[in-house]
A and B are shown apart, each in its own frame.
Chain A
Amino acid sequence: MELTVRNLSVARGGITVLEGLGFTLAPGRALVLRGPNGVGKTTLLRTLCGLQPAVRGEIAAPPEGLAYASHADGLKSMLDVRENLAFWAAVFGTGPAAVARALERMNLSTLAARRAANLSAGQKRRLGLARLLVSGRPVWVLDEPTVSLDTASVALFAGVIRDHLGQGGSALIATHIDLGLDEAEILDLTPFRAATGALAQAWGDDPFLGDFA
């Protein structure tokens, strides 16, 4: 159940942003993706999840093994916290016990009957991340999971990831902040920046355009 990527190139809007990327994510391990804004972290994660095709290269992932947490939490504001989570539990076929466990684990039990519209940004985020727990999938693909979380919630979530790793799961995390996961490996995406991306970068240094700066 490991996720292996070989010589992968991914493109956003028709422009290749990352190329020659390769890594292996073994069960029980976490891999933190780093790199400046626009380097292609989200594009890479969306490609791994099958939301867009790779330009070239291979992705070997366990079938239906990836759980994706994007920037958007996919919450319905008119449903309450439990209904939101129960929907995803039904979609992933995990059932109500998983919902109760996830609510407990993400510290959302007291908010279970509150409408998602009335949650704070951090509470919405916690609910979005709780979906990972009810998905029952081994490989978590997380895109900036800590946005709008406070320090306590970041620590809580780091604990959730650590438990997940302990149960043989794995996590691929694009983040700028330190989650406090000391055991996580770090992969800097900057060296894999595609030549076309570098070209676009070079245009940024154009003296003509520079006159307008």
Chain B
Amino acid sequence: MIALLARDLRLAVRAGGGFGLGLAFFLLVAVLVPLGVGPQGDTLARIAPGILWVGALLACLLSLDRIFALDFEDGSLDLLATSPVPMEGAVAVKALAHWLVTGLPLTLAAPVLGVLLYLPGPGYLWLVVSLALGTPALSVIGAFGAALVVGLKRGGLLMSLLVLPLYVPTLIFGAEVVKRGAAGMEVATPLALLAGITAGALALLPFAAAAAIRVNLR
């Protein structure tokens, strides 16, 4: 399984691997929104938590269909299914690899982009905390969505439609954490709910995704 993680990370950073795709998208959103909304600091400060979270979510969504589609096309998913690696483990590892090349860079880049959006001072800590807690859920839920459409040609749109509703709770609580944090309010409740969603997704969805892949490989 470590070999699978190492391979996925290596493929991601080689040419055409898609590393930085999500990050570049996130950067574009954060740069373009102030241009579109205008330079009023108070307006931007009010919408910053939401914009940053929506940007991060869409950036994650961008690279999801690659999680399994490439392995399916070149036949390595078949071979993985017949290997000693349990499919549940393979799904978890591939979701982890997706998070390492997408969610983690987004989390680290977010404070820098927060400056562009006039995010109030206390919000930076909670922005990083909420993204660190929330983006793993985005990757795991996304892996589940990708598993559902593996084998379909042009499954990307269908996958987005399936995954976006599942992303909504993470988005709501994630943005709420930043919003409250920026306003200096108590963040414990949305933070606990955000962590709960992530924990639940991590515990359950690898099994669901593995089952979906087995059905799709038939």
Measured CA separation A51–B16 after assembly (Å): 30
Check B84 against A50 for contact (C-beta < 8 Å): no
Asked whether any CB of chain A lies closer than 8 Å to the CB of B76, the reply is yes
By the criterion CB–CB under 8 Å, are A50 and B7 in contact?
no
* Cβ A72 vs Cβ B11 within 8 A: no
Say whether A131 contacts B16, CB under 8 Å: no
With a CB–CB cut-off of 8 A, which chain B residues contact A191?
none
Give how many B residues have a beta carbon under 8 Å from the other chain's beta carbons. 24
Interface residues of B (CB under 8 A from A): 2-4, 7, 10-11, 14-17, 73-76, 78-85, 217-218
Which chain B residues lie closer than 8 Å to A46 at the CB level? 78
Distance between Cα atoms of A50 and B78 in the complex (Å): 10
Q: Is the CB of A70 within 8 A of B218?
A: no
A73 to B79, CA, bound (A): 9
Contacts of B4 in A (CB 8 A): 87, 91
CA of A91 to CA of B7, assembled, Å: 11
Q: Is the CB of A92 within 8 A of B7?
A: no
- Is the beta-carbon distance between A76 and B218 smaller than 8 angstroms? no
In the complex, A66 has a CB within 8 A of chain B = yes
Residue of B nearest to A77 (CB): B74
Contact (Cβ within 8 A) A51 B84: no
Q: Can you list, as one digit per residue, whether each of A17-48 has a CB less than 8 Å from chain B (1) or not (0)?
A: 00000000000000000000000000000100
Residues of A within 8 A of B217 (CB): 51-52
Interface status of A75 (Cβ within 8 A of chain B): yes
Give the distance in Å from the alpha carbon of A67 to the alpha carbon of B76 in the complex: 13
Closest chain B residue to A128, Cβ basis = B75
* Interfacial chain A residues near B2, Cβ < 8 Å: 90
21 A–B contacts, CB within 8 A, in A order: A49-B82, A50-B81, A51-B81, A53-B218, A66-B82, A68-B78, A70-B75, A70-B79, A72-B75, A72-B78, A73-B74, A74-B74, A74-B78, A75-B74, A76-B74, A78-B15, A83-B7, A86-B3, A91-B84, A92-B83, A131-B79
